[in-house]
């Protein structure tokens, strides 16, 4: 469903990604790995349309998205949970969730049950300001907001960063249950190898601007980890 071909992207003069090709198939959880600063977030932003593609292309369900605006990609079914969550601190939890409807493809005006079924802690906090939630709760809110539009592809950038273990477990369960439903594919950036090995179907390792390694969970050996991931 997502096909990235020979993508080049970066900021100003600096080219961060030189030649990235990868695929995400329907219902899969595909994990992006790589040392700090190799460009994982840059790739997520480029797929979402927040950064320009300089060379190469991004195709989604066969359509060329390379020059499309982020809003259009969202309405085509791509959801995004950015690193650092980016919820609206002044808006309530409920209002933050309502914003997720902007990307709905079916013109829905009410929150689908989907939005909080997977995060049972949220309804009790609907009236609270987003900014008053803990980091872990904000992460759950950002995740739930992205699910409001029922995306077919979800870009999840480090959902467990700086989160307490019990919420990491909740997020793991949500990813597993999304995977179980088979309606939403996930492109996941996450530092914890234990976590990605648990939920991932396929892995890409970024190094020096390109895909240095790719494979299935069984192939992600200690040696691969040493070569591309250990600092
Ligand atoms: N807005 C920006 N302007 C200029 N350079 C940037 C910007 N954002 C990131 N970079 C640079 O791009 C490179 C890739 O950053 P990116 O955040 O994509 O890496 P990452 O693999 O996601 O890292 P991490 O694992 O630490 O989150 C880094 O060298 C970073 O300093």
Q: Tell me the ipTM for this assembly.
A: 0.95
Topology adopted by domain 2-85+151-228: Rossmann fold (3.40.50)
Residue extents of the structural domains in the chain: 2-85+151-228
Tell me the pLDDT of the chain averaged across its residues: 94
Write out pLDDT tens, residues 134-163: 999 999 999 999 999 899 999 999 999 999
* pLDDT exceeds cutoff 80 at 109: no
- The pLDDT assigned to 181 comes to 93
For residue 32, report the distance from its CA to the centre of ligand 1, in Å.
14
Percent of the chain with pLDDT over 90: 87
| Residue 128 backbone class (left: φ over 0; alpha: ψ -120 to 50; beta: rest) | beta
- Greater confidence, 49 or 103? 49
Atom number, ligand 1, closest to the C-alpha of residue 12: 4
Return the residue matching tokens 């996450």: 190
* pLDDT exceeds cutoff 80 at 228: yes
- The pLDDT assigned to 25 comes to 97
- The pLDDT assigned to 20 comes to 98
How many whole angstroms separate alpha carbon 50 and alpha carbon 68? Answer: 10
Model confidence pTM above 0.90: yes
Note whether 220 and 229 are within 8 A (CB).
no
- The pLDDT assigned to 128 comes to 97
Determine if ligand 1 sits within 6 Å of the CB of residue 41: yes
* pLDDT exceeds cutoff 80 at 119: yes
Atom number, ligand 1, closest to the C-alpha of residue 43: 18
Mean pLDDT of 63-67: 97
Note whether 101 and 148 are within 8 A (CB).
yes
Determine if ligand 1 sits within 6 Å of the CB of residue 11: yes
Report the nearest-CA residue for atom 30 of ligand 1. Answer: 37
How many whole angstroms separate alpha carbon 97 and alpha carbon 230? Answer: 38
């Amino acid at each position: 469903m997502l096909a990235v071909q020979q993508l080049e992207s970066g900021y100003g003069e600096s080219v961060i990604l030189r030649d990235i090709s990868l695929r995400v198939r329907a219902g899969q959880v595909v994990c992006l790995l790589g040392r700090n600063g190799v460009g994982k977030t840059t790739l997520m932003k480029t797929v979402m349309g927040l950064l320009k593609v300089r060379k190469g292309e991004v195709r989604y369900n066969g359509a060329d998205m390379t020059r499309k605006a982020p809003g259009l990609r969202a309405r085509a079914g791509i959801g995004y949970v950015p690193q650092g969550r980016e919820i609206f601190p002044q808006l309530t939890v409920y209002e933050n969730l309502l914003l997720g409807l902007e990307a709905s493809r079916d013109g829905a005006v009410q929150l689908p049950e989907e939005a909080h079924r997977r995060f049972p802690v949220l309804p009790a906090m609907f009236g609270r300001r987003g900014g008053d939630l803990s980091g872990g709760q904000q992460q759950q809110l950002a995740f739930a907001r992205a699910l409001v539009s029922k995306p077919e592809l979800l870009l999840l950038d480090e959902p467990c960063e700086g989160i307490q273990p019990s919420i990491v477990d909740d997020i793991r369960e949500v990813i597993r249950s999304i995977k179980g439903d088979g309606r939403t594919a996930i492109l996941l950036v996450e530092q914890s190898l234990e976590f990605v090995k648990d939920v991932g179907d396929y892995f890409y390792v970024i190094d020096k601007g390109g895909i240095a390694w790719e494979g299935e969970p069984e192939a992600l050996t200690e040696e691969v980890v040493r070569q591309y991931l250990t600092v």
